[in-house]
Amino acid sequence: MIAKKELKFFTLKDLDRIPELSKLPEEELFGLKLAAKVFPFRVNNYVLEELIDWTNIPDDPMFRLVFPMGEMLETQHYYLMKQGVEEELPPKELKKIINEIRYDLNPHPDGQLTHNVPLLDGEIVRGVQHKYRETVLVFPSSGQTCHSYCTFCFRWAQFAGMTDLKFATDESKRFQEYLRSHKEVTDVLFTGGDPMIMKVQKLKIYLEPLLSEGFEHIQNIRIGTKSISYWPYRYLTDDDSREILELFEKIVKSGKHLAIMAHFNHWREIETEAAREAIRTIRSTGAEIRSQSPVLRHINDSADVWQKMWKEQVKLGVVPYYMFIERDTGAHHYFAVPLAEALEIFREAYSHVSGLSRTVRGPSMSSTPGKIAIEGTATINGEKVFVLNFLQGRNSDWVKRPFFAEYDETATWLDELRPAFGEEKFFFEDELNKILRHKAIEEKLAG
Ligand SMILES: *Cc1c(COP(=O)(O)O)cnc(C)c1O
Ligand code: SF4
């Protein structure tokens, strides 16, 4: 039996209440305190007590996952902050510096806020993104926070209060109406933040209507969550844990597929008794758990980590799903792994696991045109190239049409790649521009 744990959050103002931090050399602790003012910081008692190995800080990957460090700031930003703090600037002025740094960190990568918002009767459906034909993303307004914040999160700007939660749908029926009128949609993916931060009563408001008449075309309900890593007690001992599991059972009994899209960055996250019990319990409802993660410098940039993670997952009944490339935002310079290296990590890990783990795809970039996987390298007519492939395309017809880019050892994203064989552009570019222009006009008309 797992004993009940009460969720306790620690934020910037509570740093002094985490005594283990005093084990850090003074300069590192100073850097941590600077970085925690710039990047959103939140951690809970489970992560502090059960995940982090305090004998191995700051190198412990679980520590790096949640604690901002001085090195996550670029040098010039570090010195700006250091100066501001040492000169004891009034809070308002320090805030100004913090905001300038944040705007320097590409807070809204890849047109996140604007490109994929759908329309219904000529009006924007807030809190919904519809990019790939079959799958609609929903951002419940009360699910836009997490049980801890990841230092590398590409949605960090939202937690830093830089967006007006434009995404977040209110409890209104708009997204349901939208789904009702889009029969091509088979999948609804609830995301955030972390939707599992919501109490069961809130969750029901979103999930239960999809089980009723008019939504027969919705075959798969997915919930994107890091709760198994950050708060497994969500499924074990929280006051509404029992009801959460009953809700999952109800969805499965209705005949739909319920997929928990878990976010695991390292095998350490599924080593604790609580995490394992949470996985067992969720699976006992009939829900499937799939897993995804970006490849991250300082956290999981080794084939061994991935290999072990996939094997452990398969053993626990979790299906490896995606390896992502980290987006260019926030502390990107700290976490970035070049595409060529990510490919090697993937290849090396993939070649050492059985077919049950080879459900995983990647490394993949969630970019403006679509999810693009780096499938491998090849030498064609004497030119070394990356072989790329759309796993998802803004136009679904782009999928599974391998294309080529010049091999580039340092590139970390699509926009740094050039078409191979001296071609001027990639095959999808003209059409992509047309689609984006069309969307922009539509959105302007919708106001
Ligand atoms: C990844 C993603 C999806 C889901 O794609 P699958 O390949 O079906 O998992 C849907 N919408 C957006 C915007 C995505 O980035
Ligand atoms: S749990 Fe997900 S959304 Fe929340 S901070 Fe981590 S990566 Fe970001």
Q: What is the pLDDT of residue 267?
A: 98
Distance, in Å, from the CA atom of 44 to the CA atom of 147, rounded to the nearest integer, reads 7
139 lines ligand 1 (CB under 6 A): no
> Please, are residues 201 and 166 in contact by the beta-carbon 8 Å criterion?
no
The pLDDT confidence band at residue 77, using thresholds 50, 70 and 90, is: very high
322: CA distance to ligand 1 center in Å? Answer: 10
404: CA distance to ligand 2 center in Å? Answer: 32
**371, 398, 439, best to mutate for ligand 1 pocket (most atoms within 8 Å of CB):** 371
Query: Ligand 2, closest atom to CA 224?
Result: 2
329: CA distance to ligand 2 center in Å? Answer: 14
> Please, are residues 149 and 413 in contact by the beta-carbon 8 Å criterion?
no
Q: What is the pLDDT of residue 184?
A: 97
The amino acid present at 22, given as its one-letter code, is S
DSSP calls for 305-339: HHHHHHHHHHHHTEEEEEEEEPPSSSSHHHH---H
Distance, in Å, from the CA atom of 356 to the CA atom of 353, rounded to the nearest integer, reads 8
Q: Flag whether pLDDT at 369 surpasses 80.
A: yes
**62, 65, 153, best to mutate for ligand 2 pocket (most atoms within 8 Å of CB):** 153
**Full-model pTM:** 0.96
Distance, in Å, from the CA atom of 361 to the CA atom of 320, rounded to the nearest integer, reads 8
Q: What is the maximum span of the chain, computed from C-alpha positions, in angstroms?
A: 64
Question: Where on the phi/psi map is residue 401: left (φ > 0), alpha (ψ -120 to 50), or beta?
Answer: beta
Q: Flag whether pLDDT at 116 surpasses 90.
A: no
Q: Give per-residue pLDDT as tens, 306-356.
A: 999 999 999 999 999 999 999 999 999 999 999 999 999 999 999 999 999
Ligand that lies nearest to the alpha carbon of residue 294, given by its number in the listed order: 2
Query: Ligand 2, closest atom to CA 229?
Result: 1
The separation between CA 47 and the C-alpha centre of its own chain, rounded to angstroms, equals 18
Residue range 239-244: mean pLDDT, rounded:
98
137 lines ligand 1 (CB under 6 A): yes
Distance, in Å, from the CA atom of 248 to the CA atom of 221, rounded to the nearest integer, reads 10
Q: Report residue 234 as tokens.
A: 């969500």
159: CA distance to ligand 2 center in Å? Answer: 9
Among residues 197, 200, 272, the alpha carbon closest in space to that of 229 is found at 272
Phi, psi for residue 330 in degrees, rounded to 5: 60, -135
> Please, are residues 248 and 285 in contact by the beta-carbon 8 Å criterion?
yes
Among residues 414, 391, 417, 416, the alpha carbon closest in space to that of 402 is found at 391
Strand partners, 258: 221
Among residues 362, 367, 384, 297, the alpha carbon closest in space to that of 327 is found at 367
Q: What is the pLDDT of residue 273?
A: 97
Residues with Cβ within 8 Å of 55's Cβ and at least 6 positions away in sequence, in order, are: none
129 lines ligand 1 (CB under 6 A): yes
> Please, are residues 31 and 69 in contact by the beta-carbon 8 Å criterion?
yes
Distance, in Å, from the CA atom of 262 to the CA atom of 219, rounded to the nearest integer, reads 19
> Please, are residues 54 and 23 in contact by the beta-carbon 8 Å criterion?
yes
Question: Where on the phi/psi map is residue 106: left (φ > 0), alpha (ψ -120 to 50), or beta?
Answer: left
370: CA distance to ligand 1 center in Å? Answer: 9
Q: Flag whether pLDDT at 170 surpasses 70.
A: no
What is the 8-class DSSP label of residue 198? S
* Domain range annotation of the chain: 9-103
Q: Give per-residue pLDDT as tens, 1-17.
A: 889 999 999 999 999 99
Strand partners, 190: 138, 223
Q: Within 10 Å of residue 113's Cβ, how many Cβ atoms?
A: 16
Distance, in Å, from the CA atom of 63 to the CA atom of 48, rounded to the nearest integer, reads 9
Residue range 266-294: mean pLDDT, rounded:
98
Distance, in Å, from the CA atom of 116 to the CA atom of 128, rounded to the nearest integer, reads 8
Q: Give per-residue pLDDT as tens, 22-75.
A: 999 999 999 999 999 999 999 999 999 999 999 999 999 999 999 999 999 999
- Half-sphere exposure of residue 407, counting CA atoms within 13 Å on the CB side? 14
Between strands 257-263 and 220-225, the pairing is parallel
Q: Flag whether pLDDT at 166 surpasses 90.
A: no
146 lines ligand 2 (CB under 6 A): yes
